[in-house]
Chains A and B, each alone.
Chain A
Amino acid sequence: MADEALFLLLHNEMVSGVYKSAEQGEVENGRCVTKLESMGFRVGQGLIERFTKDTARFKDELDIMKFICKDFWTTVFKKQIDNLRTNHQGIYVLQDNKFRLLIQLSAGKQYLEHASKYLAFTCGLIRGGLSNLGIKSIVTAEVSSMPACKFQVMIQKL
């Protein structure tokens, strides 16, 4: 085990470091999100390998999503996803009512505009984890009121 303060501070520093070196503009912003998301992707791949090396094979897509919501989320963020919804056509919405990387920010609307910076890494985590379980996906996230957060997973047919 390591201490969570180190990871939280490292994540914050990665976010501010990536955005500081960028200029204003839509293109640069997209590049920052991509950079953070791709780092998260790589970490998600590595983590899922270590978490699942002893587990039985998942029986279907929903089984995999349940694993992400329960075991994966608990290991990474120390709590389960609060709500999982799906339209049974490849779209899943994972809602975390107290997302760990947003708790440090004010619960009001003061920092709402910056909240999305702190979600890109975790989108990559989910996409990377799913990738190594055989699922190709697009993951986006949104915050309507802090610190609740929704991750939308759109599974792509191969």
Chain B
Amino acid sequence: MSRPAHKRPEYHKINKDLFVLTYGALVAQLCKDYEKDEDVNKYLDKMGYNIGTRLVEDFLARSCVRRCHSYSEIINIIAQVAFKMYLGITPSVTCHNSSRNEFSLILHKNPLAEFVEELPAGRSALCYCNLLCGIIRGALEMVHLAANVTFLQDRLKGDSVTEIGITFLKKLDEKKYRRKK
């Protein structure tokens, strides 16, 4: 069975400003609806989770990614294929520990916050791009990879870069994969 022909990459592209401004309007609305930053963050994460569970289907259908055999391989695909496909950026990847289940994505450019100069007054605990954490967590869960995803650094909070920490919660069952090969 031949793989269906891929449409040209440009077919799926839209004006980036539309997405970025829509996201900004959403965050502004949530700040009106909720008093606490924590509630806004939670809502963005939940919304992102719902998006991620659907987005991963789009991603797997359009990319040629096969089963991954290590966490670092998965992280590299997120950074080099998925972020490139959907946001047009390629974050750098770092690994935090010797058991190799804690990673960071370092975003030198953050398109979501392109039009945001600083967080509004009284919103210092707001994770502006928390949708991204939910998207990553939801997408990984749909391929049976439970993970904690949080912002470790945020340029909007004065840090020099934006850093997303990803901690995988379960060890990959190597025997299971070896048997299926």
What are the residues of chain A within 8 A of B20 when measuring CB–CB? 2
**Most chain B CB atoms below 10 A, which of A11, A13, A35, A75:** A13
What are the residues of chain A within 8 A of B21 when measuring CB–CB? 42-43, 46-47
Contact check, A4 vs B55: say whether CB atoms are below 8 A apart.
no
**Most chain A CB atoms below 10 A, which of B21, B25, B29, B51:** B25
What are the residues of chain A within 8 A of B29 when measuring CB–CB? 35, 38-39
B76 touches A (CB below 8 Å): no
Alpha-carbon gap, A38 to B29, bound state (A): 9
- Could you say which of A5, A16, A47 contacts B18, with CB atoms under 8 Å apart? A47
B94 touches A (CB below 8 Å): no
- Could you say which of B19, B43, B54 contacts A2, with CB atoms under 8 Å apart? B19
Contact check, B58 vs A5: say whether CB atoms are below 8 A apart.
yes
Contact check, A1 vs B22: say whether CB atoms are below 8 A apart.
no
B13 touches A (CB below 8 Å): yes
Give residues in B with beta carbon < 8 Å to A.
10, 12-26, 28-29, 43, 47, 50-51, 54-55, 58, 85-88, 111, 115, 131
Give residues in A with beta carbon < 8 Å to B.
1-7, 9-11, 13-14, 16-17, 35, 38-40, 42-43, 46-47, 50, 75-76, 78
Q: List 26 A-B contacts (CB under 8 A).
A: A1-B14, A1-B15, A2-B15, A2-B20, A3-B87, A5-B12, A5-B55, A5-B58, A6-B19, A6-B86, A7-B18, A9-B51, A9-B55, A10-B22, A10-B23, A10-B51, A13-B51, A35-B29, A38-B29, A39-B26, A39-B28, A43-B24, A46-B17, A46-B115, A47-B21, A50-B17
